[in-house]
A and B are shown apart, each in its own frame.
Chain A
Amino acid sequence: DTGVSQDPRHKITKRGQNVTFRCDPISEHNRLYWYRQTLGQGPEFLTYFQNEAQLEKSRLLSDRFSAERPKGSFSTLEIQRTEQGDSAMYLCASSFGQGAYTEAFFGQGTRLTVV
Chain B
Amino acid sequence: QKEVEQDPGPLSVPEGAIVSLNCTYSNSAFQYFMWYRQYSRKGPELLMYTYSSGNKEDGRFTAQVDKSSKYISLFIRDSQPSDSATYLCAMSDGDMRFGAGTRLTVKP
Contact = CB atoms under 8 A, between A and B. Distances in A.
Interface of A: 4, 33, 35, 40-45, 48, 55-56, 91, 93, 100-101, 103-109, 111
Contacts of A108: 42-43
Contacts, number: 60
B93 A41 contact: no
Given A93-B96, A100-B93, 4 more contacts: A43-B88, A45-B98, A48-B95, A56-B95
Chain B interface size band reads 20 to 34
Nearest to B29: A100
23 contacts: A33-B95, A33-B96, A41-B101, A42-B98, A42-B100, A43-B88, A44-B98, A45-B95, A48-B94, A48-B95, A55-B94, A93-B96, A100-B31, A100-B92, A101-B49, A101-B51, A101-B92, A103-B46, A106-B36, A106-B45, A107-B43, A109-B41, A109-B43
B98 A104 contact: no
Of B4, B49, B95, B96, which is in contact with the most chain A CB atoms at under 10 Å from its CB? B95
